[in-house]
Structure 1
């Protein structure tokens, strides 16, 4: 009985050590990925200054006004007849963008 308890303790320590190693490796990998990109371009996990593609998916907290400013397209409503109410924009809504900005 005593040897099975010792074996269980060893297995527990092995699992705890393996879990700690995985957490540390994940942390190191995440920090090295963040070091390769400019800090100013990120807020949390979202890119703030990402280029606007022709097909744009609305993100959390975005409005047509903020998207228009970011992408340089003042005619979003006119180009997207499926938007009946400009105030009813939600995350996941797909819209067409034709950017007049040259900062891609």
Structure 2
């Protein structure tokens, strides 16, 4: 009876260890896939086209928009922007779209 209990305990510990290893392996793999997906999404935002009417996105500044779209005269073309440092997500601006320099460098 003692031998069968000992064997059952060993089998239970073995199963628990294997299950824990599988859970850890799955979470590590899922974490690395999430990082790759986020990097892909970030590059999609950088490569989005610049239309004549542009809506400022989260984290963007006039400088980053100017670099991305190749338009150094954003402030001059948008008289409703009184302070270039006061740019917020959702602000609508007019730009003169240029070809995306990032795509030409790739």
RMSD: 2.6
Contact 1:56 1:94 in 2 (8 A): yes
Contact 2:50 2:97 in 1 (8 A): yes
Who wins on radius of gyration, i.e. which is larger?
A: 2
Indicate yes or no: 2:84 matched with 1:95.
no
Indicate yes or no: 2:66 matched with 1:68.
yes
Q: Write the distance in 2 (CA, Å) between the matches of 1:79 and 1:100.
A: 15
Q: Provide the residue aligned with 1:42 in structure 2.
A: 41
Contact 1:41 1:49 in 2 (8 A): no
Pairwise CA distance, 1:65: 0.1
The DSSP-based 3-state class of the residue aligned with 1:69 is helix
Gaps spanning 5+ residues in structure 1: where?
1-38
Q: What's the TM-score, normalizing by structure 2?
A: 0.54
Do the aligned partners of residues 98 and 62 (structure 1) sit closer, same or farther apart at CA in structure 2, a change above 3 Å counting?
Answer: same
Structure 1 stretches of 4+ with a deviation exceeding 6 A read none
Contact 1:41 1:48 in 2 (8 A): no
Q: Write the distance in 2 (CA, Å) between the matches of 1:59 and 1:72.
A: 17
Give the number of the structure whose residues are more often helix, by fraction: 2
Instruction: Report how many aligned residue pairs link the two structures.
Output: 66
